Every structure is written in structure tokens, then in C-alpha cells.
Homo-oligomer: A and B are copies of this chain.
Amino acid sequence: MQQQISVITLGVTDLGRSRRFYVEGFGWTPVFENPEVHFYQMNGLVLGTFQKAALEADMNRTGLLRPGAFALAHNVPRQEDVTPLLERLVRAGGTLLRPADAPAHGGFRGYVADPDDHAWEIAWNPAWTIDAQGHVTFRL
């Protein structure tokens, strides 16, 4: 089985508010938008923001809770890129969870929640490589 994730879908309550975080905060551009779902073409996978009720109907499970027990990470090329991006995401509607600092395992990172409480780690990890297409490779 291919070690492959095709889509990450985030349940959201207000697509426009979420769009502002991803477009103004991260500077990303949706590849598709309708009143129920927005898609972003990412590095070998797709990010979706989907009305939470529609996501619950699709997965046949109600009562999805927030904040969920997961985090997404966006790694940046330089340590000095971490804090400005956290600040930009807060200006675009995010909530700072952890100002950037150096974890015991190395690197530099902070956390911000998107407008629907979904956590994003913004990290500089000097060990892992990121190629021009954004493909990230694990290294010790």
C-alpha cells in the first residue's frame, strides 16, 4: 500500500473566516471553492476546508469535537521565519497557542490555532529537507 495521504479535510463553521486565515495568513490560493468546500493544492496532497455539518454527514458520524487531538505542521526554511509567520497567522484570525521557542529535540517552533481551533505548528527543523516542490523528507 502506498504510504500516501491524499487529503486532509478540516471541519469549519465559516468558510470565509477560514479562507482568510489560509489565504491572508499563509498566503495560499484555493484551487477550488464552492459554498460547501474549499480545496488547496498542497505538496503532493490536497487540503480541504469543509462545512462541519457536511463533513459529519459524509463520514456518517455526528458530534465532532474541537479542539481535536491532532496538529498540522508547516515547516519554514529558516529559524527567523517562524515568529513572523505566527504573527501573520494571528493577524489573519488565528489564536496563538505557544510563542516560538526551542524544543528539547532541536529546531524552533510555535503553535497557532486556526479560527476553528485546528492547531498548526510553525517550525524550523534543520534536519528535515524540503525540496522546491515542498516535499518534506524525514531525517534524524
Residue numbers of A with Cβ under 8 A of B are 1-12, 26-29, 31-32, 39-47, 52, 55, 58-61, 63-75, 85, 97-98, 103, 111, 113, 116, 118-119, 121, 123, 125, 128, 130, 133-138, 140
Q: With A103-B58, A119-B61, A135-B44 known to touch, is A69 a contact of B10 (CB < 8 Å)?
A: yes
> When the two chains form their complex, are residues B66 and A136 in contact, meaning their CB atoms are under 8 A apart?
no
A61 → B minimal CB distance (Å): 5
> When the two chains form their complex, are residues B5 and A42 in contact, meaning their CB atoms are under 8 A apart?
yes
Contacts of A47 in B (CB 8 A): 5
The quantity of this chain's copies bound in the complex is 2
Contacts of A52 in B (CB 8 A): 69
Closest to A101 in B: B60
A128 to B32, CA, bound (A): 13
Contacts of A71 in B (CB 8 A): 7-9, 55, 58-59
Closest to A71 in B: B9
> When the two chains form their complex, are residues A65 and B63 in contact, meaning their CB atoms are under 8 A apart?
no
Contact of A136 among B28, B46, B103, B140 (CB under 8 A): B46
